[in-house]
Structure 1
Amino acid sequence: MLLYLSFNNEKSIFVDVVDITPYIAKYRCISLVDITVWKGIPFATSTSGENRFRPPQARAAWNGTLDASHYGAVCLQDFTLDSSLSYGEDCLNLNIWSAGNDTGAKFPVIMWSYPAESTAAQPLFDGAGMASKGVVFVNYNDRTGSLGWLATSELSEEMSESYGTNRSALKWVHANIASFGGDPDHITIMGQTAGSVATYHMLNSLLTKDLIVGAIIESGVRDPRDPYAATVAENYRNMSVALETGTSYMESLNASKIAELRALSFNDLIVSFRGNYSLGAVLDYYAMPGTYMTSILTGSANSVSVLTGNTLDESGASYNYSTTVDAYLEDLQTQYGNWAEKFLALYPANNDSQASESLNAHYQDTDDYTIAQTMNSYWANFAETGNPNLGGSYPASLGNLTYFPKTNSAKNVTFRVGNGFGEKPIAQPAPIELIEKYFAAQVPF
Structure 2
Amino acid sequence: MKQIQGSFIKGYVRIVVTGDRPEMFIQESVNRGVTVWNIKREGRKSCSGNVKLSDIPEIRKIRRERNYKITFEERRGYPFLFSRFFRRKEFVFSFIMSILLILFMSNIIWKVEITGELPKEIEEKIATQLNAYGIHAGAWIFTIDPPAKIQQKLTDDIPELLWVGVRQKGTTYQLEGVEKIVVQDDKVEGPRNLVATKKGIIKRMYVSKGVPQVEINDYVEPGKILVSGKLNEVPESEEEDENKENRKEIVVPAEGEIIASTWYEVDVTIPLKQNYELLTGQQEKKYYIGIKNFKFPIWGFGSPDFQDVHHDSTTSPIKFLKWNLPINIIESTLSEKQLQKFERTKEEAVQAGIKQAKEELQLQLGPDAKITSEKVLHESLENGKVKLYLYITVEENIAKAQPITQGD
TM-score tier (shorter): under 0.3
- TM-score when scaled to structure 1? 0.19
Higher strand share: 2
- TM-score when scaled to structure 2? 0.20
Higher helix share: 1
